[in-house]
Structure 1
Amino acid sequence: MALSISAALLLGIVVFVLLKGGYVRVGPALACSLFGFTLAATGLAPAINTGLASFAGLISSL
């Protein structure tokens, strides 16, 4: 059975677990989230999306 999940949802779950576990505080998590939003608005966003798609393809082929 194939499971499809968006990268945003998966990373959101990871951040939530790290916050609840006490590994990451709210301030650094917020800073990283804001950095991600600003990074998505740059010219580097297509390369990042291509890299994530390639990684997802690699994982799905295993």
Structure 2
Amino acid sequence: MALSISATLLLAIIVVVLVKGGYVRVGPAMTCTLFGFTLAATGLAPAINSALASLAGLVASF
């Protein structure tokens, strides 16, 4: 649970910085956000969560 909240906040901050910096416009950012929500509803979600947990474990080991 703590990992998903941290990853969500980190990714939200990155999106806000990219939109504010002009690197990404609001339309594509919203499209990617909606894609993420629909992807989370598929059967691929457990594999993605597992990959993120493995990546977090790798980063934490440094």
Give 5+ residue unaligned stretches, structure 1.
Answer: none
Which amino acid in the other structure matches residue 55 of structure 2? F
The runs of at least 4 consecutive aligned structure 1 residues that moved more than 6 Å come to none
Q: Between Structure 1 and Structure 2, how many residues are aligned? A: 59
Q: CA deviation at 1:30?
A: 0.1
2:38 paired residue number: 38
RMSD, aligned α-carbons: 1.2
SS at match of 1:6: helix
2:49 paired residue number: 49
Give 5+ residue unaligned stretches, structure 2.
Answer: none
Larger relative contact order, structure 1 or 2 (CA cutoff 8 Å, min sep 6):
2
Q: CA deviation at 1:51?
A: 0.1
- Pick the structure with more helix per residue: 2
Q: Are 2:6 and 1:6 equivalent residues in the alignment?
A: yes
User: What's the TM-score, normalizing by structure 2?
Assistant: 0.92
User: What's the TM-score, normalizing by structure 1?
Assistant: 0.92
